[in-house]
Structure 1
């Protein structure tokens, strides 16, 4: 080959190498420019000895070291926590010597200031088979994702208002702790806490103030419990406290007494002082249940028992509490169905004029029947109606049913009849009660004198000014108002003089005892005298014998009611009774 041609070929080969090297240099520059321009991707390069040879700006923002500070430093001295140091060195060695790659994964690496930085880390090895091999780590910060996860976890398991664990967290934790307690033969206590009359605060002052008060209550409870205890907000004004280490029921009671005392100190919210109390129900593992559902249900039942026995107290679960709760739920269901299907009934018991023997009026008595047609005692269903809040719907039904019956009797021998219905103290809280009663009478084309209202002594004597004004309006309109069970409450005779009532009904217990007890006889005479002195009609209940009939007539009672004259009966039987009475 000619020398000139050989030189040309050699020159061409050298030119190609130069061009190739120039291309590689440009590619490397572009690569560095690219990774430098990625603001969220931290890239670090390390040689085979794990010394830093490259450190981009994003690495400085992520780990705190400048390029100059990082250059030449060992990987494990910069960003590797002590607990990971040996593992990182081994993984790098295995990659170099055995070609075992380092998997991509989520890690927590060390910042210059010492705290951990969550990242997703990937690794690339370049020129692995040469003495110039380089490892590049590509790290993406997971800080925002971690914050988002923490926020999701907080929202899922913690209450926004009180910052306490929520119901979901508490139930999951209880399940875990019960398994542990079962294995270790230990006790666990579940305490259901419900604020007393909190709905009244919300209704009176608004939910904003109510929320502030709930937050203050939760802060006090958190402060008083022990470190091992778990307090959660179950929902609304209800809290659940889990106790894992205690010295028997006495130890639990001592702790809960401390909580009661702390709440008793009261709260000042925006300058307003609030006195709040709570009722506590306790169930114990394993005595009162072995599952979270059983223990929660039984603690809830015990809490309701605490409310029934006066509130602001502690009640431990017993099996009979569950029986009462089941009975309560059965009666509530029965009442709801009866209201929905309009199967409640009114029975009527005549009130007899003791002077002429005629029927002056009749009392409407509510009757409820179960699915077998058996009557449920009012002593059972009336308290349930009061506690469940169904008394309002039932009370409205009674007013409407009584007016319908009066309308049906118009034009008959019973057309002059007045029906007296029993009014609950809860109904008296309705600010539109007078309006609703008068509107119902007008809608049925009735006169106000055809309807009477009976309230127990404690209910009417405990009325506030607004409730009394409603009674005064009804009385002025012509509605007959009577105090039922008179003598069994804590009445004031001065207060009686000021009340808008037309009659008093002496409780049957006085008549029963007056037959053999001089003290009761004296009290009964005094009540009749006071009633007449105040211009009230005096009615006596529970007349069952001829001797009692003679006594109440001799004492000067105006009207009487009892089985001697008539038992409560359906409306369909009233015409026949009246005809027999007048025969």
Structure 2
């Protein structure tokens, strides 16, 4: 009798019926890799999906050890230990998301579960069931990228900036070093945006982002903070001299114009710099202080950089205190309107008056003049609330005068933030009607800068007011953008020439030429001219020689209370 060679039964037949059904089930699953390993972690089973996922054919994998196939080197010792503990002590390997390795060396993200068959025997078998998470991982990565990337410029966004700053602060604190933060704001970007439109404004932001990225060679992070603001964190910079060099480099980036379609746009930037840890050890402090320094750079003329200083910090604290006091004063009704007459040079009589805001807090030590508290209010929504108060008080005063038989126009100063409120013009109409006033009874004074920054909707609303009879003045003309070409675009009736042009005009040929040019252009555009700051009879006579319609200044009256206006009118 000859001995026949013993043939080992197929793998499925080596197990009980329940185990066979399990192996048949998992073998048929698409995109689910199933591998079997003996107690020495040698491959005894390798399904088709394992070939597809990991790149090893079945014949290559069988007999090879788990740790030599798909386990990254840094994980090998831990995998061996976990497998041995399962065999020795019955401690199952927990399911988890893992990053394993393909034959090519590429990483692959999987969700891996483990089952032990023949547990408690001399030949236990571990089966790994790996689900390919590559697609989910790619989607997750894209979502994370979108969540941390500014979609317009492709730069890191504010969220990623804050994460980077957290890490930079930890590193610098641990190493007892520092870094510099640069807050970059584009100068007059809104004007470019309004002129060319948002499409080209977006294109300009993309071009600026690329140029800044190309310009910077220092280690760190450039992020878009929002709007037209960017932040650069230079992680290896520890001195102000190094920071100044980077700021100069950033400023140089804007020397060349930006090509947008058929336009070449010139734009500059203002940069504020804060240093860690000198100027703050928290993210908010570093950003806030760099922002404060940036605004100081703008105040000094734009297209420059400024370091944060403790003196600047003191100034900001003072401004915040004033803002807080202003809020209190609104509640406590601690404001007052004074009125400065505008004189008709032809008749010598009062034609109208400008309502001028004064702050009268009960604690007189808090009081500051309008040239200090109004700019502070204009940086927040506080100016809107103050503007509402002024409108209400001016309308009420005009109503009282009318009831006394006095019919003079009251002009109020209006900020850009007020005009941007959707309900401003409706509120103006409602306030006039409630006090029985006509459109001609309340005039509006706007600066050049406010008008230039106004969008088409605001300008159209102003045209409607002008058509209804509202007198609209450009205030302090010549101290803003001073572009005479803008005058024909604005629905204005009066041009108020700033006092600085009059000061030397009667005696100085250069100043006189400027005055004459402005007055002539204004008259050509059918505008009434108002000259501010008339203090001497010589200045008044000079204005009359130029056929100026109205003057305003201490020669005729300083700003006075409403009862003094009545007295002045009665003396005419």
* Contact 1:361/1:420 (<8 A) preserved: yes
1:231 deviation in Å?
1.9
- Tell me: CA distance 1:121–1:354, structure 2 relative to 1, closer, same or farther (3 Å): closer
What is aligned with 2:372?
380
Say whether residues 1:237 and 2:228 are aligned partners: yes
- Correspondence for 2:273 among 267, 274, 282: 282
Pairwise mapping of residues 448-459 of structure 1 onto structure 2 (< 5 A)?
none
* Cα distance change of structure 1 residues 28 and 248 upon mapping to structure 2, 3 Å threshold: closer
Alignment counterpart, residue 404 of structure 2, candidates 388, 403, 412: 412
Distance (Å, rounded) in 2 between the aligned partners of 1:267 and 1:486: 31
Does residue 71 of structure 1 match 2:62?
yes
Tell me if structure 2 keeps the 8 A contact 1:195–1:238. Answer: yes
Match of 1:104 in 2: 94
Give the distance between the partners of 1:454 and 1:86, measured in 2 at CA. Answer: 79
In structure 1, distance between residues paired with 2:480 and 2:202: 38
5 Å-filtered alignment, 1:157-196, equals 157-196=148-187
Whole-Å separation in 2 of the counterparts to 1:495 and 1:203 = 14
- Residue equivalent to 1:222: 213
Distance 1:529 1:39 in 2: 84
Cα gap change, 1:455 to 1:274, in 2 (>3 Å): closer
* Corresponding residue for residue 9 of structure 2: none
Q: Which moved more, 1:214-223 or 1:518-527?
A: 518-527
TM-score scaled to structure 2, two decimals? 0.73
Pairing 1:107-122 to 2, within 5 Å after superposition: 107-119=98-110, 120-122=112-114
Distance 2:160 2:456 in 1: 47
Native 8 Å contact 2:83 2:93 kept in 1: no
Distance 1:474-1:167 versus aligned 2 partners, 3 A rule: closer
Report if the CA contact (8 A) 1:482-1:505 is conserved.
no
1:314 aligns with 2:305: yes
1:127 and 1:134 in contact (8 A); partners too: yes
Which residue in 2 is equivalent to 1:326? 317
**Residue 319 of structure 2 is aligned to residue 295 of structure 1:** no
**Structure 1: any 5+ residue segments left out of the alignment?**
1-20
- Work out the CA distance in 2 between the residues paired with 1:100 and 1:443: 86
Deviation at 1:281, TM superposition (A): 0.8
- Match of 2:274, SS? strand
| Distance of aligned partners of 1:371 and 1:114 in 2 relative to their CA distance in 1, 3 Å threshold | farther
SS in 1 for 2:253: helix
Give the Cα separation in 2 of the matches to 1:317 and 1:62: 56
User: How far apart in 1 are the matches of 2:226 and 2:517?
Assistant: 55
Mapped pair 1:363 → 2:347: no
Identify if the C-alpha distance between structure 1 residues 485 and 235 changes in structure 2 by more than 3 Å, giving closer, same or farther.
closer
Bigger shift: residues 451-460 or 171-180: 451-460
User: Conserved in 2, the CA contact under 8 Å of 1:488 and 1:507?
Assistant: no
Kept in 1, the 8 Å contact 2:179–2:238? The answer is no
**Residue deviations 1:374-393 (CA, integer Å, cap 9, x gap):** 65412113334555576677
Q: Deviation per CA, 1:108-157, whole angstroms, max 9, x where unpaired?
A: 33222222233324251526543x54343333444355445545544554
1:400 and 1:126, CA in 2 relative to 1: closer, same or farther beyond 3 A? same
| CA distance in 2: counterparts of 1:530 and 1:30, whole angstroms | 97
Distance in 2, matches of 1:48 and 1:464, equals 77
Instruction: Give the alignment partner of residue 255 of structure 1, picking from 239, 246, 251.
Output: 246
SS at match of 2:397: helix
Cα deviation code 1:517-561 (max 9, x no counterpart): x94699789969997997978867464xxxx56995799789876
Deviations, residues 22-71 of structure 1 (Å, cap 9, x unaligned): 99665554343222123354322233444322222332233222333323
- Flag the 1:32–1:412 CA change in 2: closer, same or farther, 3 A: closer
Q: Following the alignment from structure 1 to structure 2, what is the Cα–Cα distance between the partners of residues 537 and 372?
A: 40
8 Å contact kept, 2:477–2:497: yes
Q: What is the aligned partner in structure 1 of residue 499 from structure 2?
A: 507
Q: Cα offset for 1:229? A: 1.0
Aligned 8 A contact 1:458 1:491 in 2:
no
Give the Cα–Cα distance (whole angstroms) in 2 for the partners of residues 494 and 126 of structure 1.
92
CA-based RMSD = 5.3
Q: 1:348 aligns with which of 335, 339, 344?
A: 339
Shift of 1:372: 3.4
> Secondary structure, in 3 states, of the residue corresponding to 1:569?
coil
- C-alpha distance after superposition, 1:335-361 (max 9, x if no partner): 567678876532123456889986554
Which range moved further: 337-346 or 489-498? 489-498
Q: Which has the larger radius of gyration?
A: 1
Distance in 1 (CA, whole Å) between partners of 2:486 and 2:26 is 90
